[in-house]
Structure 1
C-alpha cells in the first residue's frame, strides 16, 4: 500500500527540488524550479514570487531544526530546552506567530519526554489560549497521557486534535503533495498516538489504517527518521495481527533506513526483540537485546540503555532467571524514574514483581504489584493487564501459592471474557453495518424500479386518450408488473430476515470448533435457568495447552482444540450442550443427567480426550484434560442457586483437579451447608472448606494415572 503511486515522476521531481534547494542558496533556484515545473508538465508560470520561496524554505528549515532538538531532548532535555528557548526568542523578535506556536508545542513535548508532566500541561494551557493553538494543545495533552501510561485516554485526545489537523493535509492524492496548510508532523504524531490506543483496545486492523496514513505523510516529507519509526510500529502491529511475513517486511525496510544511525539502530533492536518474543524465539530475542545494549553503551543514550535493560529483564524472567531479571530491573529503574517514563516504569516494576515472586520474596513482590496498580490507575489497556495477571498467576503457581494463583486466575479470566465480549460486539456491529448497507442498496433499487413504473403509467395514460384497447392492455401489464414487484419485495424481505437469523446464529457459534459459544450459553441460561439452576455442569480444561502453542505453533494448537471439541461432543449425550467457554476451556451443560450417572459422563469425557494421541503436522501429541463437575442443586441441602454460582462451583472443582496433577476429574458429591449464608461462606473459601471436611469430592483418574485419595488440597 505504501508503494502505490510512487512512480518515476515523483522521484525525479523530488530529486530536482533538492537540487533547486541547493541552487536557491546561490541565487539560481527560481529559474531551475520554473524549468522543472515546465519539464514535468505541471503548468507553473515563470513569475514565481521570491517571498513564497523564502517562506517555504523557512518552514522546512524550522521543521528540521525542531525535529532535531526534539530527538536530542530524548536523552539531553536540558540542552534541547535551552536551544529551543533561544530559537523562540529569535523568532519572537522576527515576528513569526505561527512559528512560535510550533516552537512552544515542541518545548512542551520535550518537557513531556523529560518526564515533567506538569510543565508540559502548563505549555498546553498556554497554547489553548492562542489563535490556532487548540489542536496543538490537545496533541500535547495526548502526549502527556501516552507517556504516563494511559494510551486509551491519549488516543481520545489525539483523535480530537486529528479532526482539526488532518483536513489541512492531502487525503487521497498519489503521490501526496504536502502544502503550506498541512502541519504534517503534528498530524503524523496524532495518527501514531491514535494507532497505539487502538492497539491497546485490541483493534490492530484499525490501527494499521492510521499507521499507513502516517507513513504516507513521513515519506512525502522525505523524513527518514520519521519513516523508519512508523515502519517499526507497523511491524509490531502486523505481529499483533498474526502476520509474521508482513511484520518482517516492515522491519527489513526500517532496518535499511536506520543504517549509519546508531540511535535509530538501537531503537530497531528493541522492536526486533519484542517481535522475537512474540514468536517465542528466546535465543534471537536475547541476542538482539545484548547487541542493542552493546551499541547503546558506546553512546550517551542513557534511556536507550535503560530500555534495553528493561527488555532483557523481561527476557530473563521468561527464561527462568529471576535473579538476573531483578538485578537488571533495579539498574534501569533510576534512569526511567529520572525521565518520568511511567509506561516503562510499569513494565519494569511488573517484571520485578514476577521475579521477586519466583525468588519467594513475597512482601517485596506485593509492594511492586501495588506500585504497578497505582501507576495503571485510570488506564484501559486490557491486553497489557491480562498478560500481567497471567504472568503473576503462573509465578505464584510455580512457587506453590495456590490461593494467590487462583485469585489471579479468576481476575484474568473475567477480564479476558470482557475483552472478548467487546471484540465480539465490535465484529457484530461491523456485520450489522454491512447488512444494513445491503438493505439500503436494495431499497434504492426498489425505489428506482418504482419510479420507472410510475413513468410508464404516465405514458400509458397519455396513450389511453387515443387507443381504448391499448389502455386495457397497458393496465393489465401494469398489474402484472406490480404483482412481480410485490413478489420481489416479499422475497427481499424473506432473504433479509434469513440473513438476520443467520447473523444471530453465527454470533452464538464458535468459528474454530463450530460449538456453541459463551453468548449462546448465556442466552440459554436467561431463557431457562433463572435463580434456581437444575442440572449438571462439567468444566473442562486442556492440560498444558500453552506448551502446545509454544512448542508446535498456533496452527497445531487450533488442531488440538478442534479435535478435543469433537471428542467431547462424541462423549456426551444428544441433549447435552457443549460450549467453548474460552481459549482451551469447555463447558458441558447436562440438564437431564441423573446424579448417579454424572460420574460415568465425566469418565467418558476423560477417556475420550486422553486415550488416543492427537495427530498434528509434527506427529502424534498426547493430550489430557482436567474436569470439575457437580450436580445442582448441591446435595444434601439442595439449596437453590443462580446459574452463575453453579458455574463457579464447577470452576473451583476444576482448579482443584488442575492443582493436584491434572489428567483427572473432581466432582462435588456433597456440601455441608444448611442455608444460603453457609453455602456462600463455603464458596468464598473453597479450599478451607475442603480442609474442614465441609465439601466431599469424588476423584476420577484419566488414562495412565495412579489411583490417589480424594482430597480438596
Structure 2
C-alpha cells in the first residue's frame, strides 16, 4: 500500500466504531470499537463496572434483582445507579447481544407493580443500544419507538430514541440518516440538560456518543477543523462528569487531529495528558484507546518501527479482556502495518483471524477495509483471482456508503499492487477509475468553493448597495430640512444647500470607488478560478476550456502537441521531507516548466503532481526537442531545499503531435489527452525518468485509433502504435 494510504487506513481502523453507546467510569475490560472510513477515534466507549459474561448465572441473577430493586427509584442518586447498571449490561451486550437481549426480556418478570417512567426509559434505551450495535434493526426500531412514545412525559426519552436510531444507522452504514439522527439527539440532549444543569435524568454517555458520531462524520468528509471543534465538545462533556476513561480516549483522539492540523507541540501535550488519565483506569480499557491512537500518530510521523509493537500490546490487552470484537478491529490495523512492511503473508493471517468476527457482527464499516487488505495481500502472494474478487467486493461496499475518497485511495493502492505483479491491464483499469473519481471529487469541490465565493461577493455587493441607499435617504432628509430653512432664512438656506452639494460630491465619489472595487473583485475571482493557487500555472478547468475553444476554432479534430509529465515518487518526497517540501518541489517544477515553453503554449497543473502542456504549433522533431529539454531541465539540476539540502527530482513524460502520422487521423481533444496519458503510464512501467513519444499509428480511422488507445500496451506490441522511448540520460 502507498504510505499515505496506509496512514489513512490505520487511522480509520485504529479509531473505530460508534458501537458502544454508553460510557462510564473505569471498569472491567469490554468490547472494542468498529472502524469507519477516515476517522480519528475508536468508537467503543469504556465500560462502567464489571461486565457480566455468558455463563455467569449467579451474577446475572443478582444483576436482575438489582434492576428490579430500582424500579421504584426516586431522586438523582438512584437514577445514577440505574444508569451505571444499564451501562454494564450495554457493555456486555457488545460481545454477547443475544444473552443481554434475552435477559432484558426477562427483566420485567417478577415486578410487583408497574415500574417508574425513568426505569422503563433506561431499560428501553439499553435494549435499543444493544440491538443497534448488533445490527438487529427490528428490535432497535421497536425500542426507539417505545422511547418516542415517552417523549411528551420525559424529554430525555426523545434524545435517547434519536441516539438509538443514529447508532443503528451508523452500524448499518446509512451515513446520511445516522448524521441526521445524531444532530437531532444532540439538540434534544441540549434541551433536556439546558443551562448545563445535568440532573440524574441527563445521560452524559448518550450525549457524548452522538457528539462523537458527528465528529467522525466531519473527519470522514475531510473537515478536520470541524472535527477538532466537535471533539473538544466531547472532551468537555467527559470533563464535566470527571470521566478519566473518556478523557484519555478523547485527548488521544484530539492529539491525532492536532497532528494533522500541523500543530505537533499541541499533539504531544494532548497525548501526554491522555496517558495520565489512562493510567488511572485499572482495567486497561483507556490504555487500549491511547495505544491505538499512538500507533496512528507513529505512522503519520513515519515512525513505523513503533506502530507494530504498540498495536500488538493493544491486541494482548483486548484478548485478556475477552473482547473478540475489539481484538478483531486492532488486527485490522495490524494488517495495514504488515502490508506497509512488505509482509503480505502476515497481513493475510491477521485478516483471516479478524474477518469472521466482523462478518458475525455484520460490521459493515470494517468489512470493506478487511476485504481490501486481504485482496492486496493475496495479489502480492500471487493469488490473483481471489485477490481481485476481494478488492471488488470491498469497492462495492464502499460504493454503497458513497465513500468516494476511500474508493479513490483503494483504487490507487490496488493499481500499484497489480502493476507490481505484472498485471498491467488490470492496473491500468484501476488507475483510470481512480482518475475519473478524483475528477468528480475535484469538480464537486471546485463548484462548492466557487459557489461560496460568488455568494460572498453577492453578499458584500448587497451590503454596499444597502449602505448607498441609506446614504441617499440621509441626503433626501437633509434636502427637506434645507427647503424648510430656506423659507425662513435665505442665507442659512444657501449655506445648507452648499453643504448638501458637498456631501453629494463625496457620496458620488464613494459610489464610483465602490463600483471600481466590485469590478476589481470580480476580475480577481475570474483570475483565481483559472489559476492553480500553489504553482500559478493554469488550472485543469481553464486548460480544458482553452483546448475545447481551440478545437471549435479548428474543426472537429484536435491539432497540436501535448506533453504530459508526472513527478516520480512524489509521495516518497512528501513522506521523507514533509508536505511543505513537496509543495516547494511542485512550485519549482512549475517554474522550470514555464521557463521552457514558448509564448502561445499553455502549461497547466493537471492534477496532484501531474502537469500538461499544449503547444499549438509544434509537432515532430520540434515537439520532441521541447519535451526532452523539459525532461532534462527538471532532472539534471537538483532542487535546493530551504535548509540548504538538495534533492534530485525526476519526471516521467509522454508526448505526441496530433494528428498522428502517417494517416493524419483526427481525435477530439479529450481522447488525445487520454492517449498521451496511456503513454505516460507506460513510461512509469518502464522505470520512470524517461520520455515516451507517440511517433506514428497504423490506424487510418478515428475508431481504429480509439481501439488502439483502449488497450495501449497491446497496440504498442503489435506495432499499431509506434513509440520512441528516451531515458533522461540520453537527452543531452
Q: TM-score w.r.t. structure 2 length? A: 0.82
Superposed CA offset, 1:357-399 (max 9, x none)? 1101011212312331343342122222222112211111221
Counterpart Cα distance in 2 of 1:576 and 1:90: 86
The corresponding residue for 1:597 is 622
Q: Which of the pair has the greater relative contact order for Cα pairs under 8 Å at 6+ separation? A: 2
Aligned pairs for 1:565-644 (under 5 A) are 565-616=590-641, 617=643, 619-644=645-670
The alpha carbon displacement at 1:648 in A equals 0.5
Contact 2:629 2:731 in 1 (8 A): no
Counterpart Cα distance in 1 of 2:161 and 2:505: 63
The corresponding residue for 2:684 is 658
The corresponding residue for 2:428 is 406
Aligned pairs for 1:468-617 (under 5 A) are 468-530=490-552, 531-616=556-641, 617=643
The alpha carbon displacement at 1:561 in A equals 1.6
The 1:302/1:379 distance shift into structure 2, 3 A limit, reads same
Superposed CA offset, 1:240-283 (max 9, x none)? 44444444343333332222241221122122212222222211
The alpha carbon displacement at 1:665 in A equals 0.8
Aligned pairs for 1:365-384 (under 5 A) are 365-384=387-406
Counterpart Cα distance in 2 of 1:429 and 1:568: 32
Contact 1:396 1:404 in 2 (8 A): yes
- 2:663 is aligned with 1:674: no
The alpha carbon displacement at 1:698 in A equals 1.9
In structure 2, stretches of 5+ residues that fail to align are 1-72
The corresponding residue for 1:287 is 309
**Greater displacement, 462-471 / 135-144:** 135-144
Aligned pairs for 1:301-312 (under 5 A) are 301-312=323-334
The alpha carbon displacement at 1:337 in A equals 2.1
Counterpart Cα distance in 2 of 1:147 and 1:236: 24
Q: Secondary structure at the match of 2:719?
A: coil
Superposed CA offset, 1:319-346 (max 9, x none)? 1000011111111122222222222222
Contact 2:395 2:407 in 1 (8 A): no
Aligned pairs for 1:65-464 (under 5 A) are 65-81=85-101, 84-85=104-105, 93-97=113-117, 99-127=119-147, 131=151, 136-170=160-194, 176-178=196-198, 184-259=204-279, 260=281, 261-464=283-486
Counterpart Cα distance in 2 of 1:73 and 1:347: 24
Q: Secondary structure at the match of 2:640?
A: strand
The 1:154/1:493 distance shift into structure 2, 3 A limit, reads same
The alpha carbon displacement at 1:538 in A equals 0.9
Counterpart Cα distance in 2 of 1:528 and 1:100: 72
Q: Secondary structure at the match of 2:95?
A: coil
The 1:542/1:96 distance shift into structure 2, 3 A limit, reads same
- 2:708 is aligned with 1:686: no
Counterpart Cα distance in 1 of 2:531 and 2:267: 31
Q: Secondary structure at the match of 1:673?
A: coil
Contact 1:461 1:471 in 2 (8 A): yes
- 2:491 is aligned with 1:465: no
Counterpart Cα distance in 2 of 1:508 and 1:236: 35
Counterpart Cα distance in 2 of 1:265 and 1:633: 65
Counterpart Cα distance in 1 of 2:78 and 2:526: 59
Specify which of 693, 699, 703 is matched with residue 725 of structure 2. Answer: 699
Counterpart Cα distance in 2 of 1:642 and 1:89: 76
Q: Secondary structure at the match of 2:531?
A: coil
The 1:116/1:674 distance shift into structure 2, 3 A limit, reads same
Contact 1:155 1:196 in 2 (8 A): no
The alpha carbon displacement at 1:163 in A equals 4.9
Q: Secondary structure at the match of 2:233?
A: helix
Counterpart Cα distance in 1 of 2:708 and 2:113: 76
The alpha carbon displacement at 1:437 in A equals 4.4
Counterpart Cα distance in 1 of 2:433 and 2:298: 28
The alpha carbon displacement at 1:96 in A equals 3.5
Length, aligned pairs only: 650
The alpha carbon displacement at 1:676 in A equals 2.7
Counterpart Cα distance in 2 of 1:374 and 1:93: 52
The corresponding residue for 1:30 is none
Counterpart Cα distance in 2 of 1:92 and 1:303: 38
The alpha carbon displacement at 1:65 in A equals 3.4
The alpha carbon displacement at 1:127 in A equals 4.6
Counterpart Cα distance in 2 of 1:91 and 1:542: 73
The corresponding residue for 2:40 is none
The alpha carbon displacement at 1:544 in A equals 1.6
Superposed CA offset, 1:171-216 (max 9, x none)? xx7xx44468966544432222222222222222222333223333
Q: Secondary structure at the match of 1:465?
A: helix
Q: Secondary structure at the match of 2:584?
A: helix
Counterpart Cα distance in 2 of 1:138 and 1:421: 34
The alpha carbon displacement at 1:102 in A equals 4.5
The 1:88/1:468 distance shift into structure 2, 3 A limit, reads farther
The corresponding residue for 1:31 is none
Contact 1:120 1:140 in 2 (8 A): yes
Counterpart Cα distance in 1 of 2:119 and 2:497: 74
The 1:148/1:98 distance shift into structure 2, 3 A limit, reads same
Counterpart Cα distance in 2 of 1:120 and 1:636: 69
**Greater displacement, 127-136 / 144-153:** 127-136
**Greater displacement, 583-592 / 156-165:** 156-165
Superposed CA offset, 1:437-473 (max 9, x none)? 4444434443443343344333323322211232233
- Tell me the C-alpha RMSD between the 2 structures: 2.9
The alpha carbon displacement at 1:166 in A equals 4.1
Superposed CA offset, 1:292-338 (max 9, x none)? 12222322122222122221111001110000111111111222222
